[in-house]
Chain A
Amino acid sequence: MSNRTVPLRRRTSLLQDPSDRKPPTINDLRVKECYICRDEERYDDPAANRREWVHPCKCKLIAHQSCLKSFVTTGPANRRKCPQCGFEYQIQSSLAFLSSSLFFRIGDTIFQTMGMSFLATSAVGLATFTAVSVVTVGTGYGAIAVREYFGPGLFDLLLTDEPTNWHAGHFIFLFLTPLRLVSPVMNLGTFTPFFFLWPSIPPHSVREQLTAESSRLDGIFPTTPSTKQKWPPGLKSFGFMVAGTSMLYQRVFARFSEWVLGMKQPEPRGLFRGLTFRREFRRQEGPDGAEQEAVLQVQREAPEEPDTPFANLNGVTQYPNISIMIGLLKPFIASGMGHLLYLGAQHSSTLRLVLGIRRFGDITPLYISPKLVPELSDNIWYWKYYTATAVHEMDPVWIRNSIGLGIFIVMKDCLHLFHLWLTKRELASRRLKNRDFSGVDLNELDLIHPVSNSRSS
């Protein structure tokens, strides 16, 4: 056709070539039909009925802006192109820079991370709070238990109610106390470590308080300390005695109960019961594998038999919830028994000797301190000496509490054993009840002295 190179706009002639005109747009159509809603709009429609139209692609399809927008934004992602010509729709908006603006994206990221870290921190905080409250409760209970068991005198002097005065080891053991008390092993072992944990000098606040109080007293030099008597023993030696006694008791009582019940008791550690049995089997598998197998078979059957009856017995008589309760009450049981022993000691001098009780009277203060020399209040060795003397002079509550708790444990175990023994006897004596043959036709039975039919006497 024509190969004009003159730019279009320079043409000023009235007869313009139609091919030079700008291509028509959507507004040049006479009738517009939206391919989505199939509504039609004529070019001469009144202005009230007009809507916004768009021709978004290369083919002839056109649509209302609103119809096309709702089509493109809903459903699967492949709706972004024209269904007829495949041209990808191009979306434009004002303020398009918002979505890609660095400023806003940085701001959003910052807030996002802050939000996430806040969430994580609160989760951690909540977990810590729970853990701390559990620990606090456990430690508080432990402190009460120890105070009951060892007597308020010793506790107030060397540990006090203020946790700031405690050392790290104290915290750990005090917290572990309630857990160890409820564990299935019933013995004195829970309090044994505490015999070794007492600090050798009172904490700072107590020292200050004692110094302040004693300044009202006359300053007297300490007299030569009274010779350390063999009995009552100091805290540490008593602790060893308690530990030794409890281990010995466990062995002895296990043997005793075996003898009484006539059956081998499995290890009292419930969780490990199965494991110990298997270990014993393996030990019996000697070098002679084949021969030992036969023996092993028999042995495997035999030990299992007593296991089930004992488990049955134990299951019948043991109540796990009660043992938890008893475990937690142990310190109070101990102090109760100790008090009983104290009352008993008022009437018996042997008991007094054993329990190491020296003074009596309802108005006895919990402990009587030795006279304090205020001038020496900065000397550590003096304080050690002071503490040792004070503890020695103190009423040894822990001795009678330990002994009382021991007695209680022995009684409880014996009672339990008695219950088991009775149950065993009851189980062994079970038999089916015997009845006579009334109601059965006597002629059918093969009796030694047959009954005649004629009923003649």
Chain B
Amino acid sequence: MTSISSRRLAKELMEIKNEGCPVGINLVQADDFSTWLFTIEVMGESLYQNEKFTLQFRFDQQYPISSPAVQFVVTEGRQAPVHPHVYSNGHICASILGNEWSPVLSVIAVCVTLQSMLASCKEKHRPVDNDRYVKHAPENPKKTRFHYDDDTV
């Protein structure tokens, strides 16, 4: 009996393959049920025009009860987007990845949410405590207790 996480991820993958990804989102790699890679771009007029970012999803056995670990990939020359909620090591401060995660959401839903978060950004700058956070950050962003204050940015 395969676990609930693998069945659900198989279903999501099938949906992506059948219906395709939304505009600006592309599936790069989904060979197993533990790590998936996507690229996202912000379409239209935005601060991040022509910038392509790589997003990494990591799932554990409790998915979708527990949220996936999502971060921008910063290895091999890739950069994290300069955004007040994105740290330079790729960790993202977003409520849907933390206490507002629910199984109603999906991988594609998270990609779309992050895409719109980038699109609605007014000013490109790093988070205020970026240097301090990056120095002591854990490897898994789920281990950090983010404080979600401003969701309008």
Interface residues of A (CB under 8 A from B): 35-39, 61, 67, 70-71, 74-76, 78-79, 83-84
Contacts and interface: CB of A to CB of B under 8 A. Distances in A.
Given A37-B4, A37-B7, A37-B8, A74 B66 contact: yes
A218 B66 CA distance: 102
B64 A36 contact: yes
A35 B106 CA distance: 10
Given A36-B64, A36-B65, A71 B7 contact: no
Interface string B94-117: 000001101111000000000000
Nearest to B12: A38
Contacts of B4: 36-37, 67
A83 B102 CA distance: 7
A78 B99 contact: yes
Interface of B: 4, 7-8, 11-12, 62, 64-66, 99-100, 102-105
A83 to B, nearest CB: 4
A71 B99 contact: no
Nearest first, the 9 closest Cβ-Cβ pairs linking A and B are A83-B102, A36-B103, A83-B104, A38-B11, A76-B99, A37-B4, A71-B65, A37-B8, A38-B8
Nearest to A63: B103
Nearest to B106: A38
B7 A79 contact: no
A67 B7 CA distance: 13
B7 A39 contact: yes
Contact of B104 (A39, A61, A75, A78): A61
A423 B8 CA distance: 87
A61 B103 CA distance: 11
Given A74-B65, A75-B66, A35 B103 contact: yes
B6 to A, nearest CB: 10
10 contacts: A35-B103, A36-B103, A71-B65, A74-B66, A75-B65, A78-B99, A78-B100, A79-B102, A83-B102, A83-B105
Contacts of B99: 76, 78
A79 B7 CA distance: 22
A404 B100 CA distance: 87
A71 B64 CA distance: 9
A177 B104 CA distance: 79
A71 B11 CA distance: 19
B10 to A, nearest CB: 9
Contacts of B100: 78
B148 to A, nearest CB: 12
A427 B37 CA distance: 79
A84 B100 CA distance: 11
A394 to B, nearest CB: 80
A301 B105 CA distance: 80
Contacts of B105: 83
A348 B4 CA distance: 106
B126 to A, nearest CB: 28
A145 B80 CA distance: 81
A425 to B, nearest CB: 62
Contacts of A71: 65, 102-103
Contacts of A79: 102
A299 B129 CA distance: 58
A35 B7 CA distance: 13
A70 B3 CA distance: 14
